[in-house]
């Protein structure tokens, strides 16, 4: 940055009273956890956001630190007197050490409040203080502003609320101007309207929103309306001010809204001029007979009339009457201008159906992170279910909605209305926290199972100690992360600038729901929902060595080919071992409880209860026995036997292949040493039949229980009918005397069953824990790091999936075809990826591909909520999770019986990726796109599998009503041909995959690096395409509608360059970009070098 060295030096020497804080500190620079030099004592003086470092109080400043885009890390230890100042730019951290703990805390507070963000917080605090003072005069102002009938006995103002449907916006209206007067006769006006609100209790003018800019007409009709969300404090007494501006310098003007006081009109030097303004009361609009107001626009002094403005109240579901002829005929003359985000993008994402599909994405620029994420997913509008019934469960997962309203003409010259609602979701943090908690419990169980292996030979015991030590470190990291997430307050989503923070690495980036409600004159209302989220990836860990796809493949190859002092088990076998352990932990307590219920029924002499208890006991025990009929358990027991101390092999071991290995025999060179091998050794003294006898005893014990229960029931029936027939004795059971009590006769058999089961559990747990020990020992510490990375990516992917499922379920509760498809086939979840295969984004794509593939292991279950907490419940373990979605009783009753009975619902996630930015151009020209091609081909096979299953089990009438005639098979074949064609930036793949997903009632996601730039371009284009194809959007208004949805001035975003104190908007020039089109770079590699050099020079010049 530029600064005047003399002025800074003069400022540093000013008296102490001129500084916010000063004192002695020890300071040095830190990179990571290492100090570059030893801390040196400096006299520090803080003035505003400038920290002067001086050798002593009287010397000149040796360094000035600008406290912007930085944060203070304060250590919570009672004895630590140091803090760390971290910079967002990536420069070395500043280590600061004070003389005492109180001094350290005082410096931490002062430095934390020194930047502009701290200044904004102070301003907000002062504003709140002013508001508290004004409340004392509120009653007097209310008497002047309101009629006496609206003032209660205490003299406090009572405002009249606007009655609206639950979960619907409180107020919506559209705007149009007529007969605007220009400063010069020949000038064509480029106008927009700024909307401000005057709250009756505060009497402060607050900017709320703006329309788009309509160019070249004095009778502008604005397509962007104004909407107030349900929670907005607006009343009939609220006044709304409409200010009309004429945009002069369109290249410089960047119109935005803010929540700052509007005491002053914008300066004339920002490229626009004030035309006129008008004010109306909300009650006048709501109570007007025609629900329309025609206001006169006057200049600021109120003397001159400059035109009129029409305000029309909008109610979704009611048609708007109006003459469309002048709109359609003047469409060419009435140009539409929209100022897009300042970051231009030359990514080349083209519409496959748009008439302007030859233009690149340089004009389709980005929208900001939070407000601008939009995407279209088709769903069925709920019928018959009131908003009040649907509201509680949705409010549990959605919050902070942002609304926008549009009206677009149809091809038959009618109006259709579009309402966009974007919301954050509480699942962004809820799902990762639940998942981390499960990981902690699972890892604690695993560590305990490793400790319970018993005594091992020195080699294996040392290996176990090393594994447990590494696992404990990883467990501690999970616990620390969960604790930090528990402290999080504020926003319910993670912004893109926080994607590199370690404490938030499990949280998805910019996870939002975008809902578009379309009301057409002749078509049924429709809802289009979408989930937009940043690509699930481990950003904090980085992508220097690639992503999960490459890392897992490389790790598995190293495990096979590198000589470790352990036994190799394939990933399938280790997964099987985890499944067996999970079954043991799940089934053993169930069998024990059912056995106790059986004894309880016997003590009560209840035949029906005894039958039911025996049935449940038999089913669970059979599942228990079946879980151990696997060669892996047998071979693992043998391997564990050889690992016991004192085990001496008297002859060379004969290897026995495991399930997936070949049957080739391998001999050890030294029988006394246990070496790594691809199969399990067979000890000559080990009795393999012993394990068969152990788990077979469980089945025999169960047969004894069954025989005894049958005998008791038969004898009971005989006694009731006074028949003296004798009962046949059980073959394998010891017959007790006939006159004994039921409980006394069953008790020893049940105890025997429990004892046999306990012996099986002990041996099976130890053998499977030994398998997991080999898996961990063969890859320390890479194995645990890969597990951590996979958990991070899966956590981000799962949060989005849970959000998408819940929203889809809520919007389709009355679609019986969808509900039948859900429990019969499963739910298709299609991810649209826009990542390039170049540099770091290739690693992100590898992470994303593995994370989405892991979602196949997730099952959903819908349960009835027993409380007011509707957040989903997550159970299970790695490789198998069950998400329990809670619904209120009224909504739960609408589900099919299969779902209400707890049937698990399968997910079919598929990912199709097409890189569209300039980095993909480099990858296609000079790099490799094999990763993208392989991912698309693999997921095409998964999509075909789902389609075949769908056609086999589902009738054709379950497809959406306006898509029944489309040929899904032809679309799949077209998609297959486009994937095989391997064309550059073939966006047809995305359009086909999206169309197939919508026709199959699927859930759609769109992802790029941060879910803002490329995502918003893809989303808005698809949004307008659906309006045109499905809702008859007028062809002459396609581009206008597209630009309107991409307009930044309707977003409500406050730019950093806006003056927060005065509320005035300053010039905001576009940030420097590389002005050389990418197409020229394809001519020669020499031009690429020149482009890189010139771009570097521009960047250096910009930041000097």
Q: What is the DSSP letter of 1036?
A: G
- Name the token pair of 133: 């003072």
Q: How far apart are CA 556 and CA 75, in angstroms?
A: 40
DSSP state for residue 494 in the 8-state scheme: B
Residues 6+ apart with CB under 8 A from 737: none
Inter-residue contact 388 to 968 (CB < 8 Å): no
Counts for the chain of helices (H) and strands (E), in that order = 28, 29
Alpha-carbon distance values, 546 to 633, 923, 928, 1010 (Å): 36, 15, 14, 18
Q: Greatest CA span in the chain, whole angstroms?
A: 118
Identify the DSSP state of 866.
S
Q: Is 1008 a catalytic residue?
A: yes
DSSP structure string for 200-251: TTT--EEEEEE--EEES-SS-B-SB-EEE-TTS--BTT-EEEEEEEEES-TT
Other beta carbons within 10 Å of 229? 17
**Percent composition of the chain: helix, strand, coil (DSSP 3-state, to 5):** 45, 20, 40
The full DSSP string for 654-720 is: --B--TTS-------S-TTS----SSB---TT--THHHHHHHHHHHHHHHHHHHHHHHHHHHHHHHH
Task: Please tell me the distance from the alpha carbon of residue 661 to that of residue 659, in angstroms, as a whole number.
Answer: 6
Helices 742-777 and 631-642: crossing angle in degrees, nearest 10, is 70
Q: Which residue do the tokens 């926003």 mark?
A: 491
Q: How far apart are CA 401 and CA 915, in angstroms?
A: 31
The residues near 576 (Cβ < 8 Å, ≥ 6 apart) are: 630, 632
Give the residue among 934, 931, 929 at the shortest CA–CA distance from 985: 929
Cα–Cα distances (Å) from 793 to 1, 504, 545, 820, 828, in that order, read 38, 12, 16, 31, 20
Catalytic residue among 177, 471, 704, 1008: 1008
275: helix, coil or strand? strand
In the three-class reduction of DSSP (H, G, I as helix; E, B as strand; rest coil), residue 484 is classed as helix
767, two tokens: 């053998």
Please check whether residue 319 is in contact with residue 338, taking contact to mean a CB–CB distance below 8 angstroms: no
- What distance in Å separates the CA atoms of residue 986 and residue 982, rounded to the nearest whole number? 8
CA distance 567 to 681: 9
Q: What is the pairing mode between strands 827-833 and 1003-1007?
A: parallel
In this structure, what are the phi and psi dihedrals at residue 62, rounded to the nearest 5 degrees? -90, -20
In the block, tokens 């910009």 appear at: 1102
CB 192 within 8 A of CB 255: yes
Task: Report d(CA 805, CA 1003) in Å as an integer.
Answer: 7
Q: Of 625, 545, 601, 438, whose CA–CA distance to 843 is shortest?
A: 545
Give me the active site residues, please: 1008
């Amino acid at each position: 940055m530029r600064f005047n060295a003399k002025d800074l030096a003069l400022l540093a020497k000013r008296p102490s009273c001129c500084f916010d804080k000063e004192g002695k500190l020890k300071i040095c620079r830190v990179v990571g956890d290492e100090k570059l030099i030893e801390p040196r004592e400096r006299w520090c003086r803080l003035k505003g956001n400038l920290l002067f470092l001086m050798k002593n109080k009287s010397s000149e400043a040796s360094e000035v630190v600008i406290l912007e885009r930085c944060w203070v890390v304060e250590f919570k230890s009672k004895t630590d007197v140091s803090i760390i100042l971290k910079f967002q730019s990536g420069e070395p951290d500043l280590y600061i050490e004070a003389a005492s703990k109180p001094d350290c805390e005082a410096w931490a507070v002062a430095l934390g409040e020194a930047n502009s963000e701290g200044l904004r917080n102070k301003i907000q605090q002062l504003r709140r203080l002013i508001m508290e003072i004004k409340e004392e005069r509120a009653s007097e102002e209310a008497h002047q502003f309101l009629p006496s009938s609206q003032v209660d006995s205490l003299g406090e103002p009572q405002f009249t609320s606007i009655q609206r449907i639950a979960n619907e916006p409180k107020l919506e209206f559209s705007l149009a101007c007529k007969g605007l007067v220009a400063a010069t006769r020949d000038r064509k006006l480029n106008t927009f309207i700024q909307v401000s609100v005057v709250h009756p209790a505060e009497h402060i003018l607050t900017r709320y929103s703006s329309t788009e800019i309509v160019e070249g007409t004095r009778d502008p009709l604005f397509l962007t309306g104004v909407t107030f969300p349900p929670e907005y404090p607006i009343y009939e007494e609220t006044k709304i001010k409409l200010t009309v501006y004429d945009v002069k310098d369109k290249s410089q003007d960047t119109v935005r809204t803010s929540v700052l006081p509007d005491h002053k009109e914008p300066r004339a030097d920002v490229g626009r001029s004030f035309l006129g303004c008008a004010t109306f009361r909300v009650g006048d609009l709501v109570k007007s007979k025609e629900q329309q107001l025609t206001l006169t626009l006057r200049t600021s002094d109120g003397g001159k009339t400059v035109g009129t403005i029409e305000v029309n109240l909008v109610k979704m579901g009611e048609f708007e009457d109006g003459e469309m002829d002048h709109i359609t005929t003047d469409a060419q003359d009435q140009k539409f201008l929209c100022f897009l985000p300042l970051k231009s993008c030359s990514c080349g994402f083209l519409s496959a159906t748009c008439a302007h599909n030859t233009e690149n994405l340089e004009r389709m620029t980005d929208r900001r992170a939070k407000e601008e994420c939009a995407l279209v997913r088709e769903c069925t509008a709920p019928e018959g279910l009131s908003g009040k019934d649907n509201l509680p469960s949705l409010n549990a997962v959605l919050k902070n909605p942002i609304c926008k309203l549009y009206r677009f003409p149809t091809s038959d010259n009618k109006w259709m209305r579009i309402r966009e609602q974007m919301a954050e979701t509480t699942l962004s943090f809820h799902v990762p926290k639940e998942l981390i908690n499960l990981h902690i419990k699972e890892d604690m169980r695993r560590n305990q199972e490793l400790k319970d292996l018993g005594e091992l030979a020195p080699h294996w015991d040392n290996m176990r100690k090393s594994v447990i030590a590494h696992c404990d470190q990883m467990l501690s990291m999970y616990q620390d992360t969960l604790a930090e997430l528990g402290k999080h307050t504020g926003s319910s989503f993670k912004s893109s600038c926080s994607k590199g923070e370690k404490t938030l690495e499990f949280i998805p980036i910019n996870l939002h729901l975008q809902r578009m409600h379309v009301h057409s004159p002749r078509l049924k209302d429709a809802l289009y929902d979408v989930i937009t989220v940043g690509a699930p990836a481990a950003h904090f860990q980085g992508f220097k060595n690639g992503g999960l796809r490459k890392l897992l493949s490389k790790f598995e190859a190293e495990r096979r080919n590198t000589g470790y002092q352990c036994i190799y088990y394939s990933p399938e076998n280790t997964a099987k071992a985890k499944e067996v352990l999970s079954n043991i932990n799940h089934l053993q307590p169930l069998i024990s409880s059912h056995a106790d219920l059986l004894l309880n029924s016997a003590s009560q002499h209840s035949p029906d209860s005894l039958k039911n208890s025996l049935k449940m006991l038999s089913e669970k025990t059979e599942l228990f026995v079946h879980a151990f009929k696997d060669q892996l358990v047998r071979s693992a027991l043998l391997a564990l036997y050889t690992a016991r101390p004192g085990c001496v092999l008297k002859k060379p071991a004969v290897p026995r292949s495991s399930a997936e290995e070949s049957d080739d025999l391998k001999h050890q060179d030294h029988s006394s040493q246990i070496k790594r091998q691809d199969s399990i050794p067979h000890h000559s003294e080990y009795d393999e039949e012993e394990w068969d006898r152990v788990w077979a005893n469980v089945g025999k014990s169960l047969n004894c229980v069954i025989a005894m229960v049958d005998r008791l029931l038969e004898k009971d029936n005989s006694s009731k009918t006074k028949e003296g027939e004798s009962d046949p004795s059980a073959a394998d059971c010891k017959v007790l005397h006939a006159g004994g009590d039921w409980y006394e006769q069953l008790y020893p058999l049940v105890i025997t069953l429990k004892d046999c089961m306990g012996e099986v559990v002990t041996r099976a747990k130890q053998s499977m824990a030994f398998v997991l020990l080999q898996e961990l020992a063969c890859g320390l510490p890479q194995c645990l790091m890969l597990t951590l990375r996979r958990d991070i990516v899966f956590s981000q992917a799962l949060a989005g999936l849970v959000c998408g499922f819940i929203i889809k379920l809520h919007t389709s509760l009355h679609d019986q075809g969808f509900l039948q498809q859900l429990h019969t086939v499963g739910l298709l979840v299609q991810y649209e990826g826009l990542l390039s295969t170049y540099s770091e984004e290739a690693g992100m794509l590898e992470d994303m591909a593995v994370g989405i593939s892991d979602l196949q292991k997730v099952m959903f279950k819908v349960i009835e909520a027993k409380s007011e907490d509707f957040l989903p419940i997550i159970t299970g373990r790695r490789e198998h999770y069950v998400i329990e979605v809670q619904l209120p009783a009224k909504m739960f009753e609408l589900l099919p019986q299969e779902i209400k009975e707890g049937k698990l619902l399968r997910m079919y996630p598929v990912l199709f990726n097409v890189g569209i930015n300039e980095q993909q151009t480099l990858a296609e020209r000079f790099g490799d796109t094999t990763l993208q091609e392989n991912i698309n081909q693999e997921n095409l096979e998964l999509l075909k599998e789902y389609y075949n299953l769908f056609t086999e089990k589902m009738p054709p009438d379950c497809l959406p009503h306006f898509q029944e005639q489309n040929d899904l098979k032809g679309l799949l074949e077209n998609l297959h041909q486009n994937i095989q064609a391997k064309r550059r930036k073939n966006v047809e793949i995305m359009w086909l995959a999206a169309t197939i997903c919508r026709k199959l009632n699927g859930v759609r996601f769109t992802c790029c690096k941060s879910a803002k730039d490329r995502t918003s371009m893809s989303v808005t284009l698809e949004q307008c395409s659906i309006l045109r194809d499905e809702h008859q959007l007028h062809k002459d208004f396609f581009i206008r509608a597209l630009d309107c949805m991409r307009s930044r001035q309707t977003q409500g975003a406050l730019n950093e360059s806006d003056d927060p104190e005065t509320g005035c908007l300053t010039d905001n020039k576009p940030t420097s970009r590389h002005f050389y089109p990418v197409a020229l770079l394809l001519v020669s590699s020499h031009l690429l070098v020149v482009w890189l050099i010139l771009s570097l020079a521009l960047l250096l010049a910009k930041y000097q």
